[in-house]
Structure 1
């Protein structure tokens, strides 16, 4: 996964390379939390995993694209709890 543009300064390129290294750890922590709790919001996942909400929100679409998580549906709509979508492992 390349998160840097060709026009980015070298510091951004290095940061993007480091982000790719810890993304896998984030995935593991999020999936473990969902395995334990079954359904969680990003805010709840942040508390359970010790990650920030921003980190969790960054990884959820990536996990969704990989087919590992999905938003819980209720009557054809995304289920919300405290303003956050509710997620589950697939």
Structure 2
């Protein structure tokens, strides 16, 4: 995946390449946390993994699109805990 435009300076190209590596590393940590705990919020995942909430919140929809995680449903609605949706591994 290319995260930089052709007109971007080389530093942006390098940062984009590193972002792909970070994403893989983040995904592995998030999935491991969900495998251990079964269902967690983004805030809980952040505490367990040492990632920031922003990093977790960026990765969860990507993992959801790949069918690796889903939001826990309760009576047809997204389950919330402390203002965060609750996620589980699929």
Using structure 2 for the length normalisation, give the TM-score: 0.91
Runs of 4+ in 1 over 6 A off after TM superposition: none
* 1:1-80 superposed matches below 5 A: 1-80=1-80
Q: Which runs of 5+ in 1 are unaligned?
A: none
Pairwise CA RMSD of aligned residues? 1.2
- Structure 2 residue matching 1:8: 3-state secondary structure: coil
- Structure 2 residue matching 1:4: 3-state secondary structure: coil
- Change in Cα spacing, 1:37 to 1:8, as seen in structure 2 (3 Å) is same
Using structure 1 for the length normalisation, give the TM-score: 0.91
Q: Which runs of 5+ in 2 are unaligned?
A: none
Q: How many pairs does the alignment contain? A: 90
Distance 1:9 1:80 in 2: 42
Q: Deviation digits for residues 11-62 of structure 1, max 9, x if unmatched?
A: 2222111010121111110000001100000000000000000110111011
Shift of residue 3, structure 1, vs aligned partner: 2.3
Distance 2:8 2:78 in 1: 36
Distance 1:60 1:2 in 2: 20
